Structure 1
Protein backbone atom coordinates (compact mmCIF):
# COMPACT_ATOMS: atom_id res chain seq x y z
CA UNK A 1 0.00 0.00 0.00
CA UNK A 2 2.76 2.41 0.89
CA UNK A 3 4.54 1.74 -2.38
CA UNK A 4 1.35 2.16 -4.41
CA UNK A 5 0.61 5.43 -2.64
CA UNK A 6 4.10 6.71 -3.33
CA UNK A 7 3.82 5.78 -7.01
CA UNK A 8 0.39 7.41 -7.29
CA UNK A 9 1.65 10.58 -5.64
CA UNK A 10 4.68 10.68 -7.93
CA UNK A 11 2.46 10.19 -10.98
CA UNK A 12 0.06 12.93 -9.91
CA UNK A 13 2.97 15.25 -9.17
CA UNK A 14 4.39 14.59 -12.63
CA UNK A 15 1.05 15.34 -14.27
CA UNK A 16 0.74 18.57 -12.31
CA UNK A 17 4.27 19.55 -13.33
CA UNK A 18 3.49 18.92 -16.99
CA UNK A 19 0.32 20.95 -16.73
CA UNK A 20 2.10 23.82 -15.03
CA UNK A 21 5.13 23.90 -17.31
CA UNK A 22 4.06 22.23 -20.52
CA UNK A 23 0.97 24.26 -21.33
CA UNK A 24 2.59 27.65 -20.98
CA UNK A 25 6.19 27.11 -21.99
CA UNK A 26 7.38 29.43 -24.74
CA UNK A 27 10.14 28.97 -27.27
CA UNK A 28 13.78 30.00 -27.23
CA UNK A 29 15.36 31.37 -30.40
CA UNK A 30 19.14 31.26 -30.74
CA UNK A 31 21.67 32.76 -33.13
CA UNK A 32 24.27 30.34 -34.50
CA UNK A 33 27.08 30.92 -36.96
CA UNK A 34 29.31 33.70 -35.69
CA UNK A 35 31.82 31.63 -33.74
CA UNK A 36 33.68 28.58 -34.91
CA UNK A 37 33.92 27.52 -31.26
CA UNK A 38 30.20 27.20 -30.59
CA UNK A 39 29.82 23.59 -31.70
CA UNK A 40 28.01 22.19 -34.70
CA UNK A 41 24.47 22.92 -35.75
CA UNK A 42 23.26 19.38 -34.91
CA UNK A 43 24.85 19.66 -31.46
CA UNK A 44 22.98 22.90 -30.88
CA UNK A 45 19.66 21.42 -31.97
CA UNK A 46 20.24 18.23 -29.95
CA UNK A 47 20.13 20.20 -26.69
CA UNK A 48 16.35 20.37 -26.97
CA UNK A 49 16.48 23.97 -25.75
CA UNK A 50 15.65 25.82 -28.96
CA UNK A 51 12.55 26.24 -31.10
CA UNK A 52 14.29 28.50 -33.62
CA UNK A 53 17.86 28.62 -34.90
CA UNK A 54 18.93 31.71 -36.84
CA UNK A 55 21.88 31.13 -39.16
CA UNK A 56 23.92 34.32 -38.94
CA UNK A 57 24.60 36.06 -41.26
CA UNK A 58 24.09 37.00 -44.89
CA UNK A 59 25.87 40.36 -44.48
CA UNK A 60 26.44 41.23 -48.13
CA UNK A 61 23.54 41.82 -50.51
CA UNK A 62 21.57 44.54 -52.27
CA UNK A 63 22.46 47.37 -54.66
CA UNK A 64 23.82 44.97 -57.24
CA UNK A 65 26.28 43.24 -54.92
CA UNK A 66 26.89 39.51 -55.15
CA UNK A 67 25.25 38.10 -52.01
CA UNK A 68 27.62 36.24 -49.71
CA UNK A 69 27.03 34.43 -46.43
CA UNK A 70 29.48 34.55 -43.52
CA UNK A 71 29.33 31.77 -40.95
CA UNK A 72 32.71 32.49 -39.32
CA UNK A 73 34.83 29.33 -39.11
CA UNK A 74 32.00 26.88 -39.78
CA UNK A 75 32.41 26.76 -43.56
CA UNK A 76 33.92 28.55 -46.53
CA UNK A 77 31.22 29.92 -48.85
CA UNK A 78 33.80 30.94 -51.46
CA UNK A 79 34.62 27.30 -52.14
CA UNK A 80 30.98 26.23 -51.90
CA UNK A 81 31.88 24.59 -48.61
CA UNK A 82 28.65 25.43 -46.79
CA UNK A 83 26.63 22.90 -48.77
CA UNK A 84 27.77 20.39 -46.17
CA UNK A 85 25.33 22.05 -43.78
CA UNK A 86 22.39 20.73 -45.78
CA UNK A 87 21.98 17.53 -43.76
CA UNK A 88 22.60 19.44 -40.51
CA UNK A 89 19.78 21.85 -41.29
CA UNK A 90 17.44 19.00 -42.14
CA UNK A 91 18.29 17.19 -38.91
CA UNK A 92 17.28 20.27 -36.92
CA UNK A 93 14.05 20.67 -38.87
CA UNK A 94 13.26 16.99 -38.28
CA UNK A 95 13.19 17.84 -34.57
CA UNK A 96 10.56 20.52 -35.19
CA UNK A 97 13.05 23.39 -35.04
CA UNK A 98 12.59 26.24 -37.51
CA UNK A 99 15.86 27.21 -39.17
CA UNK A 100 16.05 30.78 -40.46
CA UNK A 101 18.58 32.73 -42.50
CA UNK A 102 19.49 35.99 -40.76
CA UNK A 103 20.25 38.79 -43.20
CA UNK A 104 22.17 41.90 -42.21
CA UNK A 105 23.88 42.00 -38.83
CA UNK A 106 26.13 44.53 -37.16
CA UNK A 107 28.74 44.51 -39.92
CA UNK A 108 28.59 44.21 -43.67
CA UNK A 109 27.73 46.17 -46.75
CA UNK A 110 24.00 45.75 -47.25
CA UNK A 111 21.17 48.04 -48.27
CA UNK A 112 18.31 48.16 -50.71
CA UNK A 113 18.46 50.92 -53.31
CA UNK A 114 14.92 50.59 -54.66
CA UNK A 115 11.78 48.48 -54.72
CA UNK A 116 13.19 46.73 -57.77
CA UNK A 117 16.37 45.97 -55.83
CA UNK A 118 14.24 44.53 -53.01
CA UNK A 119 12.50 42.31 -55.53
CA UNK A 120 15.82 41.05 -56.90
CA UNK A 121 17.06 40.24 -53.40
CA UNK A 122 13.79 38.45 -52.62
CA UNK A 123 14.16 36.39 -55.79
CA UNK A 124 17.72 35.48 -54.83
CA UNK A 125 16.70 34.46 -51.31
CA UNK A 126 13.76 32.41 -52.58
CA UNK A 127 15.80 30.56 -55.20
CA UNK A 128 18.92 29.99 -53.11
CA UNK A 129 17.67 29.41 -49.57
CA UNK A 130 13.91 28.86 -49.65
CA UNK A 131 11.50 26.98 -51.90
CA UNK A 132 12.90 28.01 -55.28
CA UNK A 133 15.57 26.46 -57.44
CA UNK A 134 19.14 27.43 -58.24
CA UNK A 135 22.32 25.63 -59.30
CA UNK A 136 24.31 27.49 -56.65
CA UNK A 137 22.37 27.05 -53.40
CA UNK A 138 24.84 27.82 -50.55
CA UNK A 139 23.21 25.23 -48.25
CA UNK A 140 22.55 22.67 -50.96
CA UNK A 141 19.02 21.31 -51.22
CA UNK A 142 18.04 22.23 -47.66
CA UNK A 143 14.99 24.50 -47.64
CA UNK A 144 15.11 27.02 -44.82
CA UNK A 145 11.94 28.03 -43.01
CA UNK A 146 12.26 31.75 -43.54
CA UNK A 147 14.22 34.98 -43.38
CA UNK A 148 15.23 36.88 -40.26
CA UNK A 149 15.74 40.65 -40.66
CA UNK A 150 18.66 41.86 -38.50
CA UNK A 151 19.00 45.31 -40.02
CA UNK A 152 21.43 47.53 -38.15
CA UNK A 153 22.92 49.60 -40.94
CA UNK A 154 22.57 50.81 -44.50
CA UNK A 155 19.26 52.65 -44.81
CA UNK A 156 15.72 52.11 -43.54
CA UNK A 157 14.26 52.03 -47.03
CA UNK A 158 12.52 49.18 -48.90
CA UNK A 159 12.61 46.55 -46.15
CA UNK A 160 8.82 46.59 -46.32
CA UNK A 161 9.10 45.82 -50.04
CA UNK A 162 11.42 42.92 -49.33
CA UNK A 163 8.97 41.52 -46.78
CA UNK A 164 6.09 41.75 -49.26
CA UNK A 165 8.03 40.07 -52.06
CA UNK A 166 9.22 37.24 -49.80
CA UNK A 167 5.72 36.68 -48.47
CA UNK A 168 4.39 36.67 -52.02
CA UNK A 169 6.91 34.05 -53.13
CA UNK A 170 5.82 31.83 -50.27
CA UNK A 171 2.16 32.11 -51.19
CA UNK A 172 2.72 31.49 -54.88
CA UNK A 173 5.18 28.67 -54.23
CA UNK A 174 2.93 26.95 -51.73
CA UNK A 175 5.65 27.02 -49.09
CA UNK A 176 5.19 29.17 -46.00
CA UNK A 177 8.02 31.70 -45.66
CA UNK A 178 8.34 32.75 -42.06
CA UNK A 179 9.43 36.34 -41.57
CA UNK A 180 11.14 37.36 -38.36
CA UNK A 181 13.08 40.42 -37.21
CA UNK A 182 15.41 41.51 -34.42
CA UNK A 183 14.84 45.24 -33.92
CA UNK A 184 16.39 47.32 -31.14
CA UNK A 185 14.10 47.99 -28.17
CA UNK A 186 13.78 51.80 -28.56
CA UNK A 187 10.38 52.13 -30.21
CA UNK A 188 9.91 52.33 -33.14
CA UNK A 189 13.04 50.71 -34.52
CA UNK A 190 15.03 53.10 -36.70
CA UNK A 191 15.78 50.49 -39.36
CA UNK A 192 12.84 48.10 -39.76
CA UNK A 193 10.09 50.01 -37.98
CA UNK A 194 8.39 50.69 -41.31
CA UNK A 195 8.64 47.09 -42.48
CA UNK A 196 7.06 45.81 -39.26
CA UNK A 197 3.96 47.89 -40.00
CA UNK A 198 3.17 45.57 -42.92
CA UNK A 199 1.85 42.97 -40.48
CA UNK A 200 3.71 40.28 -42.43
CA UNK A 201 6.13 39.31 -39.66
CA UNK A 202 5.41 36.14 -37.74
CA UNK A 203 7.89 36.60 -34.90
CA UNK A 204 9.73 39.67 -33.69
CA UNK A 205 12.53 39.13 -31.18
CA UNK A 206 13.27 42.57 -29.82
CA UNK A 207 16.82 43.26 -28.61
CA UNK A 208 16.38 44.38 -25.01
CA UNK A 209 20.12 44.93 -24.56
CA UNK A 210 22.75 47.55 -25.40
CA UNK A 211 19.92 50.07 -25.01
CA UNK A 212 19.77 51.39 -21.41
CA UNK A 213 16.60 53.43 -22.06
CA UNK A 214 14.51 50.29 -22.53
CA UNK A 215 16.36 47.41 -20.91
CA UNK A 216 16.36 45.87 -17.45
CA UNK A 217 18.72 47.22 -14.83
CA UNK A 218 19.25 45.58 -11.46
CA UNK A 219 16.06 45.86 -9.46
CA UNK A 220 14.34 48.13 -12.01
CA UNK A 221 11.99 46.60 -14.56
CA UNK A 222 10.24 49.87 -15.45
CA UNK A 223 12.06 50.73 -18.68
CA UNK A 224 11.83 47.20 -20.03
CA UNK A 225 8.17 46.82 -19.09
CA UNK A 226 7.19 50.12 -20.72
CA UNK A 227 9.03 49.24 -23.93
CA UNK A 228 7.51 45.74 -23.92
CA UNK A 229 4.01 47.24 -23.75
CA UNK A 230 4.78 49.48 -26.73
CA UNK A 231 6.03 46.59 -28.83
CA UNK A 232 3.18 44.25 -27.97
CA UNK A 233 0.55 46.97 -28.40
CA UNK A 234 1.60 48.65 -31.61
CA UNK A 235 3.48 46.06 -33.70
CA UNK A 236 1.13 43.86 -35.78
CA UNK A 237 3.32 40.76 -35.52
CA UNK A 238 1.96 37.34 -34.60
CA UNK A 239 4.22 36.96 -31.55
CA UNK A 240 6.93 38.92 -29.72
CA UNK A 241 10.07 37.52 -28.07
CA UNK A 242 12.21 39.10 -25.36
CA UNK A 243 15.72 39.31 -26.82
CA UNK A 244 18.57 38.96 -24.32
CA UNK A 245 22.31 38.28 -24.17
CA UNK A 246 23.05 34.72 -23.08
CA UNK A 247 25.84 35.87 -20.76
CA UNK A 248 27.26 39.14 -19.40
CA UNK A 249 30.01 38.87 -22.04
CA UNK A 250 27.55 38.62 -24.93
CA UNK A 251 26.60 42.31 -24.91
CA UNK A 252 27.72 45.63 -23.51
CA UNK A 253 24.71 45.80 -21.21
CA UNK A 254 21.30 44.25 -20.61
CA UNK A 255 22.17 40.81 -19.27
CA UNK A 256 19.50 39.57 -16.83
CA UNK A 257 20.53 37.03 -14.18
CA UNK A 258 18.40 33.89 -14.17
CA UNK A 259 16.87 34.64 -10.78
CA UNK A 260 15.84 38.15 -11.84
CA UNK A 261 14.44 36.92 -15.16
CA UNK A 262 12.30 34.21 -13.59
CA UNK A 263 11.12 36.15 -10.54
CA UNK A 264 10.69 39.68 -11.89
CA UNK A 265 10.84 40.03 -15.66
CA UNK A 266 8.91 37.04 -17.00
CA UNK A 267 5.99 37.40 -14.55
CA UNK A 268 5.62 41.01 -15.74
CA UNK A 269 5.46 40.25 -19.47
CA UNK A 270 4.06 36.74 -19.89
CA UNK A 271 0.45 37.87 -19.47
CA UNK A 272 0.61 39.49 -22.90
CA UNK A 273 -1.14 37.48 -25.61
CA UNK A 274 1.75 38.44 -27.91
CA UNK A 275 4.40 36.84 -25.68
CA UNK A 276 6.04 33.76 -27.19
CA UNK A 277 9.43 33.35 -25.57
CA UNK A 278 13.07 34.43 -25.37
CA UNK A 279 15.66 35.14 -28.04
CA UNK A 280 19.31 34.70 -27.06
CA UNK A 281 22.53 36.04 -28.52
CA UNK A 282 24.22 33.71 -29.14
CA UNK A 283 24.85 29.96 -29.16
CA UNK A 284 28.53 30.51 -28.37
CA UNK A 285 27.74 32.42 -25.17
CA UNK A 286 24.82 30.18 -24.28
CA UNK A 287 27.00 27.09 -24.49
CA UNK A 288 29.45 28.71 -22.08
CA UNK A 289 26.86 29.99 -19.60
CA UNK A 290 24.15 27.32 -19.76
CA UNK A 291 21.59 30.14 -19.73
CA UNK A 292 18.97 28.48 -21.94
CA UNK A 293 19.08 25.28 -19.88
CA UNK A 294 18.55 27.30 -16.71
CA UNK A 295 15.55 29.24 -18.03
CA UNK A 296 13.78 26.91 -20.46
CA UNK A 297 11.21 25.59 -17.97
CA UNK A 298 10.24 29.16 -17.06
CA UNK A 299 10.01 30.60 -20.57
Structure 2
Protein backbone atom coordinates (compact mmCIF):
# COMPACT_ATOMS: atom_id res chain seq x y z
CA UNK A 1 0.00 0.00 0.00
CA UNK A 2 1.36 3.41 -0.97
CA UNK A 3 -0.22 6.46 0.66
CA UNK A 4 0.45 10.08 -0.28
CA UNK A 5 0.94 11.79 3.09
CA UNK A 6 0.02 15.46 3.29
CA UNK A 7 1.52 17.60 6.03
CA UNK A 8 3.92 16.39 8.69
CA UNK A 9 6.10 18.04 11.29
CA UNK A 10 7.79 20.40 8.82
CA UNK A 11 4.79 21.48 6.70
CA UNK A 12 3.81 25.06 7.59
CA UNK A 13 1.97 26.37 4.51
CA UNK A 14 -1.21 27.13 6.48
CA UNK A 15 -3.86 26.14 3.99
CA UNK A 16 -5.75 27.39 0.99
CA UNK A 17 -8.86 29.16 -0.13
CA UNK A 18 -11.64 26.63 -0.72
CA UNK A 19 -11.29 26.72 -4.56
CA UNK A 20 -7.49 26.37 -4.24
CA UNK A 21 -7.94 23.43 -1.84
CA UNK A 22 -10.21 21.64 -4.32
CA UNK A 23 -7.90 22.42 -7.27
CA UNK A 24 -4.81 21.27 -5.34
CA UNK A 25 -6.50 17.99 -4.41
CA UNK A 26 -7.53 17.50 -8.05
CA UNK A 27 -3.95 18.13 -9.19
CA UNK A 28 -2.57 15.56 -6.74
CA UNK A 29 -5.21 13.06 -7.89
CA UNK A 30 -4.30 13.63 -11.56
CA UNK A 31 -0.60 13.29 -10.75
CA UNK A 32 -0.73 10.20 -8.53
CA UNK A 33 -4.21 8.68 -8.94
CA UNK A 34 -5.42 6.51 -11.82
CA UNK A 35 -4.01 7.60 -15.15
CA UNK A 36 -6.41 9.09 -17.63
CA UNK A 37 -6.25 9.87 -21.34
CA UNK A 38 -5.65 13.60 -20.75
CA UNK A 39 -2.00 14.63 -21.10
CA UNK A 40 -0.62 15.24 -17.62
CA UNK A 41 2.81 15.07 -16.02
CA UNK A 42 2.82 12.01 -13.78
CA UNK A 43 5.77 11.77 -11.40
CA UNK A 44 5.77 7.96 -11.38
CA UNK A 45 4.41 7.25 -14.88
CA UNK A 46 1.54 4.75 -14.59
CA UNK A 47 2.12 3.92 -10.90
CA UNK A 48 -0.97 4.69 -8.82
CA UNK A 49 -1.09 5.46 -5.10
CA UNK A 50 -3.62 3.74 -2.84
CA UNK A 51 -4.82 6.88 -1.10
CA UNK A 52 -4.09 9.99 0.91
CA UNK A 53 -3.09 10.49 4.54
CA UNK A 54 -3.67 13.75 6.43
CA UNK A 55 -0.81 14.33 8.86
CA UNK A 56 -1.32 18.02 9.62
CA UNK A 57 0.73 19.07 12.60
CA UNK A 58 0.09 22.77 11.96
CA UNK A 59 -3.21 24.60 11.39
CA UNK A 60 -4.36 24.66 7.77
CA UNK A 61 -7.57 26.15 6.41
CA UNK A 62 -10.07 24.38 4.13
CA UNK A 63 -8.68 20.89 4.68
CA UNK A 64 -12.21 19.40 4.60
CA UNK A 65 -12.68 20.80 1.08
CA UNK A 66 -9.27 19.37 0.17
CA UNK A 67 -10.14 15.96 1.68
CA UNK A 68 -13.62 15.68 0.24
CA UNK A 69 -12.35 16.15 -3.32
CA UNK A 70 -10.27 12.93 -3.44
CA UNK A 71 -13.06 11.10 -1.55
CA UNK A 72 -15.47 12.05 -4.34
CA UNK A 73 -12.95 10.99 -7.01
CA UNK A 74 -12.17 7.72 -5.16
CA UNK A 75 -15.83 6.84 -4.85
CA UNK A 76 -16.14 7.11 -8.63
CA UNK A 77 -13.54 4.36 -9.18
CA UNK A 78 -14.98 0.91 -9.75
CA UNK A 79 -11.85 -1.10 -10.54
CA UNK A 80 -9.68 -0.22 -7.55
CA UNK A 81 -10.07 0.52 -3.85
CA UNK A 82 -8.60 3.69 -2.39
CA UNK A 83 -8.30 4.94 1.19
CA UNK A 84 -8.38 8.25 2.99
CA UNK A 85 -6.59 8.28 6.33
CA UNK A 86 -5.53 10.73 9.03
CA UNK A 87 -2.71 10.63 11.56
CA UNK A 88 -3.68 12.97 14.38
CA UNK A 89 -1.68 13.47 17.56
CA UNK A 90 -3.35 12.09 20.67
CA UNK A 91 -5.73 14.93 21.58
CA UNK A 92 -9.29 14.79 20.21
CA UNK A 93 -10.42 16.69 18.41
CA UNK A 94 -6.97 17.61 17.28
CA UNK A 95 -6.80 21.29 16.35
CA UNK A 96 -5.05 20.53 13.07
CA UNK A 97 -6.71 17.33 11.83
CA UNK A 98 -9.95 17.80 13.79
CA UNK A 99 -11.88 19.43 10.94
CA UNK A 100 -10.89 16.58 8.64
CA UNK A 101 -12.07 14.01 11.21
CA UNK A 102 -15.40 15.80 11.59
CA UNK A 103 -16.05 16.53 7.90
CA UNK A 104 -14.30 13.96 5.68
CA UNK A 105 -15.20 10.28 5.41
CA UNK A 106 -12.01 8.52 6.51
CA UNK A 107 -11.22 4.83 6.25
CA UNK A 108 -8.42 4.62 8.82
CA UNK A 109 -7.27 6.85 11.69
CA UNK A 110 -3.63 6.35 12.78
CA UNK A 111 -3.66 7.82 16.31
CA UNK A 112 -0.17 8.97 17.32
CA UNK A 113 0.05 7.56 20.84
CA UNK A 114 3.57 8.92 21.29
CA UNK A 115 5.44 12.14 22.08
CA UNK A 116 2.85 12.89 24.74
CA UNK A 117 4.01 11.75 28.20
CA UNK A 118 0.56 11.90 29.76
CA UNK A 119 -1.25 9.85 27.09
CA UNK A 120 1.40 7.84 25.27
CA UNK A 121 1.71 4.09 25.01
CA UNK A 122 4.08 4.15 27.96
CA UNK A 123 1.20 5.47 30.14
CA UNK A 124 -0.66 2.15 29.67
CA UNK A 125 -1.12 -0.09 32.71
CA UNK A 126 -2.93 -3.36 32.03
CA UNK A 127 -6.05 -3.79 34.16
CA UNK A 128 -5.94 -0.28 35.64
CA UNK A 129 -7.21 3.15 34.65
CA UNK A 130 -4.63 4.43 32.25
CA UNK A 131 -3.42 7.47 30.34
CA UNK A 132 -3.62 5.41 27.16
CA UNK A 133 -7.14 6.33 26.00
CA UNK A 134 -7.99 4.12 23.05
CA UNK A 135 -11.48 3.87 24.54
CA UNK A 136 -11.88 7.66 24.51
CA UNK A 137 -10.70 7.89 20.91
CA UNK A 138 -13.08 5.11 19.91
CA UNK A 139 -16.07 6.82 21.56
CA UNK A 140 -15.33 10.37 20.46
CA UNK A 141 -14.47 9.40 16.91
CA UNK A 142 -17.76 7.49 16.62
CA UNK A 143 -19.73 10.43 18.02
CA UNK A 144 -17.99 13.31 16.24
CA UNK A 145 -16.61 11.89 13.00
CA UNK A 146 -18.65 11.59 9.80
CA UNK A 147 -16.84 8.26 9.30
CA UNK A 148 -18.81 5.48 10.94
CA UNK A 149 -17.00 2.43 9.57
CA UNK A 150 -13.44 3.60 10.14
CA UNK A 151 -10.66 1.55 11.68
CA UNK A 152 -8.19 2.95 14.19
CA UNK A 153 -4.56 1.98 14.18
CA UNK A 154 -2.26 2.37 17.16
CA UNK A 155 0.67 4.40 15.82
CA UNK A 156 3.58 2.98 17.83
CA UNK A 157 7.17 4.17 17.44
CA UNK A 158 9.51 1.39 16.34
CA UNK A 159 12.33 2.61 18.58
CA UNK A 160 13.01 5.08 21.34
CA UNK A 161 15.03 7.17 18.87
CA UNK A 162 11.85 7.88 16.88
CA UNK A 163 9.89 9.15 19.91
CA UNK A 164 12.47 10.47 22.36
CA UNK A 165 10.00 12.35 24.57
CA UNK A 166 7.60 9.44 25.22
CA UNK A 167 5.57 6.63 23.74
CA UNK A 168 8.04 3.85 23.01
CA UNK A 169 7.23 0.50 24.62
CA UNK A 170 8.83 -2.91 24.18
CA UNK A 171 7.12 -5.76 22.34
CA UNK A 172 5.71 -7.30 25.54
CA UNK A 173 3.95 -4.12 26.62
CA UNK A 174 2.79 -3.42 23.06
CA UNK A 175 1.24 -6.90 23.04
CA UNK A 176 -0.77 -6.01 26.16
CA UNK A 177 -1.91 -2.75 24.54
CA UNK A 178 -3.04 -4.61 21.42
CA UNK A 179 -4.88 -7.19 23.53
CA UNK A 180 -6.69 -4.40 25.42
CA UNK A 181 -7.50 -2.47 22.22
CA UNK A 182 -9.00 -5.51 20.46
CA UNK A 183 -12.15 -5.16 22.59
CA UNK A 184 -13.11 -2.13 20.45
CA UNK A 185 -14.65 -2.83 17.04
CA UNK A 186 -12.72 0.09 15.58
CA UNK A 187 -9.33 -1.54 16.33
CA UNK A 188 -7.60 -2.11 13.02
CA UNK A 189 -4.05 -2.93 14.11
CA UNK A 190 -0.69 -1.34 14.82
CA UNK A 191 1.51 0.83 12.67
CA UNK A 192 5.16 1.09 13.71
Write out per-residue CA displacement over residues 251-275 of structure 1, whole angstroms, 9 at most, x where no aligned residue.
Answer: 122101111111x312211110000
* Bigger Rg, which one: 1
Write out per-residue CA displacement over residues 188-233 of structure 1, whole angstroms, 9 at most, x where no aligned residue.
Answer: 1110111111251000111000011211336636011xx2112111
Matches of residues 129-278 of structure 1 in structure 2 within 5 Å?
129-133=32-36, 135-153=40-58, 155-174=59-78, 175-198=80-103, 200-217=105-122, 220=125, 222-224=130-132, 227-235=133-141, 236=145, 237=147, 238-252=150-164, 253-262=166-175, 264-278=176-190
**SS at structure 2 position matched to 1:167:** helix
Partners of 1:106 and 1:177 lie apart in 2 by: 25
Which ranges in structure 1 are unaligned for 5 or more consecutive residues? 1-97, 281-299
Partners of 1:107 and 1:228 lie apart in 2 by: 27
**C-alpha spacing 1:189/1:127, structure 2 compared with 1 (3 Å):** same
- TM-score, normalised via structure 1 length: 0.56
Does the Cα contact within 8 Å between 1:186 and 1:213 map onto a contact in 2? no
Does the Cα contact within 8 Å between 2:156 and 2:167 map onto a contact in 1? yes
Between 1:103-112 and 1:266-275, the stretch displaced more is 103-112
RMSD: 1.9
Partners of 2:11 and 2:119 lie apart in 1 by: 26
Partners of 1:106 and 1:257 lie apart in 2 by: 25
Does the Cα contact within 8 Å between 1:166 and 1:177 map onto a contact in 2? no
**C-alpha spacing 1:141/1:219, structure 2 compared with 1 (3 Å):** closer
Count of equivalent residues: 179
Partners of 2:151 and 2:160 lie apart in 1 by: 26
Shift of 1:182: 0.6
Does the Cα contact within 8 Å between 1:205 and 1:241 map onto a contact in 2? yes
Matches of residues 104-115 of structure 1 in structure 2 within 5 Å?
104-115=7-18
Which ranges in structure 2 are unaligned for 5 or more consecutive residues? none
Partners of 1:247 and 1:106 lie apart in 2 by: 18
Write out per-residue CA displacement over residues 95-124 of structure 1, whole angstroms, 9 at most, x where no aligned residue.
Answer: xxx211111111134332211111011111
